Structure formats: structure tokens, C-alpha cells
Amino acid sequence: MTINTFVPNPISPRVLGHRRSAIADQLQSATGIMLGCFLLVHLHFESSILLGKDAFYHVVQFLEGGMFSATGHGYPWTSQIISLIMLVVVMVHAGTALRRFPIQLGQWRALRNQQQIIKHSDSRLWFWQLITGFGLFFLAPVHLYDMLTDPSIGPNLSAERVYHGGLWILYIVLLPMVVIHAMLGLYRVLLKWGWINQRTLLRKLTMIAIVYLLMLGLASLAAYLSIGAELSLPVTPYTPS
């Protein structure tokens, strides 16, 4: 005679094997991919400031639909719409990811003990993704709220926000957290769903992407600080000569 023994889930016994758990996994992966891809595009658009004020100005006008505007200056409210969409995606991603977040002191101790006993590289990467995700839970909404309330973007206006507005303090902390979290997240998604099986190669590419994006983001931030230091208040929006 076969005896079936049920071992309850101490964290969430009601959702063990439940269909909603599978849907939450899919939502977490889908929103993570959206945010990771958005970060890649966002950092590269922001880095156009490295090519000069004119380059960044034209990128902003393109993104804000300047080709559809009679004046050619675009519509700043498009930045608000994008920020609102990203805020919703962040909330969905955070809500689905919190299911696996250790919330008790004993769980954190067990996690740290496992890290010390089992020297597994992917487990360490997951731990750093966990830590950065916790930080982003507080920092990312601050950045998106700032864009919702003040969507003005441009070489001078963005530099004013960074330098005179003191947002460089937020960005210097936000940048490494979001880059590390996003790239490790994409790494884990690609492996989890079996889209790429070359774990060692993918891990190396992930580390290269993290270093590259950090250097790109820091160089862009330095450019905004340099421009902002040369501006006198009140700042007037930049227009090409």
C-alpha cells in the first residue's frame, strides 16, 4: 500500500503548487524583462549627453514626439506617461517578487548560513539581486515620482535637476543598484525559462554588461554635473544655436 505524505510549506501553505503561483512567476519574469530592457534603452539615451548638448537635445525631442509638434519642441507629458507606465510595471514586479523575500530574522540567518556553507556562485548572485531589489523598492519610486511631477528634460534642465537639485545623491546610489539588479535578473530569467543554457558564458556576459553600464551611467552623471556647475540660476531651457 502506498501512503501519500503531505509536507506543508512553512512560508505559504495555501499557494503550494497553486496556479496563481505560476502566474505570479510569469508576471515577475515578464515585468523584469520589460524593466531590464527599458534600463538598457534609458541609459543609452541618457548617455547621448556625452556627445554634447545638441545631441541630447535632439534625442529628447525625438522621444517627446517633436516631429509631430508644430514647433518641433515635442510634448513633455509623454515623459509623464512613460514614467506612469514604468511605475505600474515596477509595482507589479515588486508585488510578485515579494513572495520570495525573506521577511523573518530566522530566514535571513538561514540564508546567510547557507551562503557560508554552500559556495555556489548563482546563490551569491541571487543574494545580491535580493539586496538591490530591496533598495530599489524605496529608490525607484522616488525617481519615477520626480519625473511625474517635473517632466522637463533637456541639457540644461536635466543638469539643473542633477546638480542644483541635488539628485546626483539619489542617482549615485540608484545607478549601481538598478544595474546590478536588472542584469542579474535578466541572467536568471534566461536560465530559468531555458532560453540560454550556457551558464558560464552568460554569467561572464552579465558581468561585462554590469561593468559597461556602470561606466556609461557614471560618465553621463559626471557630464550632467559638469554642465550643471556652469549654469547660473534661474536656468533657461537649452536651444540649439
Q: Give residue 50's pLDDT band: very low, low, confident or very high (50, 70, 90).
A: very high
CA 227 to chain centre: 25
Domain that holds residue 148: 19-100+126-230
CATH number of domain containing 73: 1.20.1300.10
| Residue 200 belongs to some domain of the structure | yes
Number of domains in the chain: 1
**Model confidence band, residue 113 (pLDDT cutoffs 50, 70, 90):** low
C-alpha cell at 209: 554588461
* Each residue's pLDDT tens digit, 123-138: 778 788 888 998 998 9
* pLDDT value at residue 24: 83
Q: Are the C-beta atoms of residues 99 and 25 closer than 8 Å to each other?
A: no
What pLDDT score does 198 carry? 87
* Greatest mean pLDDT among 16-25, 151-160, 189-198, 213-222: 213-222
Q: How many C-beta neighbours within 10 Å does residue 190 have?
A: 19
C-alpha cell at 46: 541618457
Using CA of residue 101, residue 105, residue 107, residue 111, what is the dihedral sign?
A: positive
- Does any domain span residue 39? yes
For residue 2, tell me if it sits in a domain.
no
- Give domain status of residue 4, yes or no: no
pLDDT tens profile 96-109: 887 776 665 555 56
Task: Compute the average pLDDT of residues 68-81.
Answer: 76
The answer to whether the beta carbons of residues 104 and 186 sit under 8 Å apart is: no
Mean pLDDT value across residues 8-35: 72
- Phi/psi-derived region of residue 65, left when phi > 0, alpha when psi is between -120 and 50, beta in every other case: left
CA 213, CA 5: separation in Å to the nearest integer? Answer: 49
- Give the model's pLDDT for residue 22: 80
